[in-house]
Structure 1
Amino acid sequence: GGGHLEETWDAHAGIESNHGQHAAEVDQPIAALLTDLEQRGLLDDTLVVWGGEFGR
């Protein structure tokens, strides 16, 4: 056998630090998506919906 690593998005403990970490992980990809849509002339005709686990 070997070690087992389990990584989850459960952020109930340490909510403030977890939120900052996970928000930073999606910042660049979302910015890249919006930039790409704009460069292709598609941003004005595209609805981008972003939500979280609890809809907050």
Structure 2
Amino acid sequence: MIQNEKIHKVLIVDDHTILREGLCQLINSTPGMSVCGTAKNAHEGFELIEKTTA
């Protein structure tokens, strides 16, 4: 990765565990992208956003 390259953080929200895991692997293997968290529903997703941005 280039030193000044911005990392785009992604939160994955889906009720299927296998899909979340697969997307994590795909996104984390993409330069400039990183999974910052996963949630199984919108409620968990919003809670995670509140915790990580506070």
Question: If the length of structure 2 is used for normalisation, what is the TM-score?
Answer: 0.36
**Which structure dedicates a bigger proportion of its chain to strand?**
2
**Which structure dedicates a bigger proportion of its chain to helix?**
1
Structure possessing the higher relative contact order (Cα contacts under 8 Å, 6 or more residues apart) = 2
- Structure index of larger Rg: 1
